[in-house]
Structure 1
Amino acid sequence: MTPAARLQAAIEILDEVLAGKPAEQTLTNWARANRFAGSKDRAAIRDHVFDCLRCKRSFAHLGGRTDGRGLVLGLVRDAGTDPATLFTGQGYAPPPLTAADMPNTDPMPRGVALDCPDWLLPELETSLGPATDDLLRIMRHRAPVFLRVNLLRGTVAQAMERLAQEGIETRPTPLAATALQVVTNARRVRQSRAFTEGLVELQDAASQAVIAALPDLDGAHVLDYCAGGGGKALAMAAEGANVTAHDADPARMRDIPERAKRAGVKITVQTQPMGLFDLVVTDVPCSGSGAWRRAPHGKWALTPERMTHLTSLQSAILRQAWQHVRPGGRLVYATCSLLDAENTAITTPFAAETTAATLGAAQHLTPLDGGDGFFSAIIHKAS
């Protein structure tokens, strides 16, 4: 496919996404219907789509319109390219420019330039203070790809060497001792022997840092209460914990047995958690604001009403999970959110109002630290 044809494909996909269809599903459906597109074509189109979703407001301003064509025009103009050289109508290129394709010449308002919904700016400023604008600028760009080295399968140095043999360059990151940032050929990771043989797993460095901050995992009985795909469960099992995974939607856990087998660990999957545990980890559903570089649609789907629902759900999960912490045990409350409303505003009242609960150390990570935004707090239960 030509560069112009890739842009036209991105326009068509974006129009479906803007109409309410999930981005990943739409990209998959497009690829199945257009099997002539090679892997490089699919990768480039995917990048175009997600770049446009991250920068939806500013690209629409540059494109002069809010549909897929407008966003892609903004993408091209933001890169310093004259869109007339690509929007030619020749072959599979987008149709030529018209009067409706001219950029908005007004100065960009702050929320537009930062690609943030206006109602969220005060919420973010309350939580992030002077770092707000710098963080939002970072969120306009693609997130790094990180791996977790499974120390049961080899050392960090061995993982780096194995990956390098397959053309995948990595480097350590200070966020966690097990974390590697992929420098080149991130899309080859899943096909690499290091991955298929369980030496490395895809996991953000901030998520690894949350687990690395937990003491005494070796031999501990742990409940991962919101396990999802099992990334944290695998990391804790690799540290010697006896891990039970649970999720309100059991379908999210369907890959855990195979991932555990590949990693050389055992994880018990329970649809209904039973008993008491030394440690309960609750990575609760949240706005995902710390991971908007990876899932930018969440930024535009979030509303004040959705936020109210989420904070209510987070409080409910915290109360439910607390029932599974043994006397003298600990609970970890975690989110991939940058917003205080989902973090300290949940844990502080809970600890103050709950018998036998004492709020311990908290960890605040943002994309300025290198990985996703993450919050975690330890709550101790009296013996």
Structure 2
Amino acid sequence: MTPAARVSAAIEILDQVISGDAAERALTTWARGSRFAGSKDRAAVRDHVFGALRCWRSFAWLGGGDSGRAIMLGALRAASIDPATIFTGEGHAPPLLGPDDHAGQPLDAAPLAVRGDMPDWLMDQIVADLGDQAETVCALLRHRAAVHLRVNLSRAPRDHVARLLAEEGIATQPLNNVKTGLQVLENERRVALSTPFLDGLIDLQDSASQQAVARCAITSDMRVLDYCAGGGGKALAMADRGAQVFAHDIEPKRMADIPVRAARAGVNISCLETLALTRNSPFNMVFCDSPCSGSGTWRRAPEAKWRLTPDRLAALNTMQDDVLDQAAGLVAPEGQLIYATCSFLTLENRARIDSFLARTPGWQVVDEMQLLPSAEQDGFYLAVLTRR
């Protein structure tokens, strides 16, 4: 595919997203109907689509509209590429530029929410939460996130794993903020097929999540429950620290991959359904990676910020309160309750902790961590609570 044909494909997919289709589903539908597209073509089209999702409002402003065509016009202008070199109408290129294609405006004249690529209501919330850091954080979320790996230190030292990856053409560098972390510099798409990955020496996990687990005082004699385990990334990290780890999720099917992942990593994790929690409690530590907006990870899942509404955020707050209330009863008398989200929104973080403390006497916060999205990590929040 030519560069122009890739832009045409992205326009088609973005129009599907605008009509209500999920981006991943629209990409899959396009790929199945475009057998001529090679792996590099599919990767390039995907990058176009996800770049547009990260920068939807600013690209629309630059492109002069909200159609897939206008969005891609804005993307080209943002990259200082003359749209006339792509919109040629030749072969599979987009049709020639017309009068309506020149309606875009310079970005420096745009409102803050447009420059920050956020819904208006959400930009107001972010400014209230982050103050003068709001623009910096929003600017970071407009770019693709780095790929981070977690090294299973019980299996091999980090520098040894880095050398093994380098032998397979995967360049990495150590993460300075966590001793288990590596950042992939080259050939990230090879990681899942590499020998260190298949042998369970590494797993994909952002630096922020690694820092959260490192912050927890986990010892080999502890019984730890990952209460909202999902795919089990944090459960695996805690098991590598030597604890006896249990995993639970309100939707058990989300944990389907945990046994395979645990076997590959050489650790044991017991998956518990809800009815089994009480008879297996109490636990020395209950880690609640609560459902949230995922604002700290919007570089990786940019569609989520456009799907979030005030009502959806309020519903998430209710779920977060329920998670804390239910998990607290599973903690041993001198144990720890850990509350975490991959969000930087106060309503999902400290506000939920304050609400819990107000309605649940006898608990106290003994540690707290707030990470904002940066070049080194996603956004993340963690609070450690114990009984007084």
Which residue does 2:40 correspond to in 1?
40
- Write the distance in 2 (CA, Å) between the matches of 1:110 and 1:103: 20
- Write the distance in 1 (CA, Å) between the matches of 2:338 and 2:375: 21
| Aligned CA-pair RMSD | 1.2
Which residue does 2:349 correspond to in 1?
343
Where does 1:1-383 land on structure 2 (aligned, <5 Å)? Answer: 1-105=1-105, 107-272=109-274, 273-274=277-278, 275-368=281-374, 370-382=376-388
Q: Deviations over 1:298-338 (max 9, x none)?
A: 11111111111111110011101111111100010000111
Alignment check: 8 A CA contact 1:351 1:379 kept: no
Alignment check: 8 A CA contact 2:64 2:103 kept: yes
- Write the distance in 2 (CA, Å) between the matches of 1:288 and 1:103: 34
Q: Which amino acid aligns with 1:50?
A: F
Alignment check: 8 A CA contact 1:359 1:378 kept: yes
Alignment check: 8 A CA contact 2:62 2:74 kept: yes
Q: Secondary structure at the match of 1:13?
A: helix
Deviation at 1:346, TM superposition (A): 0.5
Q: Which amino acid aligns with 1:27?
A: L
Q: Which amino acid aligns with 2:228?
A: C
- Write the distance in 1 (CA, Å) between the matches of 2:245 and 2:29: 36
How many correspondences in the alignment?
Answer: 382
Q: Which amino acid aligns with 1:277?
A: F
Q: Structure 1 residues 103 and 150, CA, compared in 2 at 3 Å: closer, same or farther?
A: farther
Q: Secondary structure at the match of 1:331?
A: strand
Q: Deviations over 1:108-152 (max 9, x none)?
A: 111111111111122112221211111111111001110000112
Alignment check: 8 A CA contact 1:364 1:374 kept: yes
Alignment check: 8 A CA contact 1:336 1:372 kept: yes
- Write the distance in 2 (CA, Å) between the matches of 1:369 and 1:62: 26
Q: Secondary structure at the match of 1:367?
A: coil
Q: Secondary structure at the match of 1:9?
A: helix
Gaps of 5+ in 2: none
Q: Which amino acid aligns with 1:258?
A: V
Q: Which amino acid aligns with 2:6?
A: R
Alignment check: 8 A CA contact 1:10 1:49 kept: yes
Q: Deviations over 1:22-58 (max 9, x none)?
A: 2122212222221221111111111110000000000
- Write the distance in 1 (CA, Å) between the matches of 2:187 and 2:375: 23
- Write the distance in 2 (CA, Å) between the matches of 1:140 and 1:369: 12
- Write the distance in 1 (CA, Å) between the matches of 2:56 and 2:207: 27
- The percentage of aligned residue pairs carrying the same residue is 51
Q: Structure 1 residues 25 and 152, CA, compared in 2 at 3 Å: closer, same or farther?
A: farther
Q: TM-score, normalised by structure 2?
A: 0.96
Q: Secondary structure at the match of 1:119?
A: helix
Deviation at 1:276, TM superposition (A): 1.2
Q: Structure 1 residues 103 and 161, CA, compared in 2 at 3 Å: closer, same or farther?
A: farther
- Write the distance in 1 (CA, Å) between the matches of 2:24 and 2:57: 20
- Write the distance in 1 (CA, Å) between the matches of 2:59 and 2:105: 13
Gaps of 5+ in 1: none
- Write the distance in 2 (CA, Å) between the matches of 1:364 and 1:105: 37
- Write the distance in 2 (CA, Å) between the matches of 1:95 and 1:271: 55
- Write the distance in 2 (CA, Å) between the matches of 1:362 and 1:369: 21
Alignment check: 8 A CA contact 1:115 1:136 kept: yes
Deviation at 1:369, TM superposition (A): 6.2
Q: Deviations over 1:232-265 (max 9, x none)?
A: 0000000001111111111111111110011000
Alignment check: 8 A CA contact 1:169 1:182 kept: yes
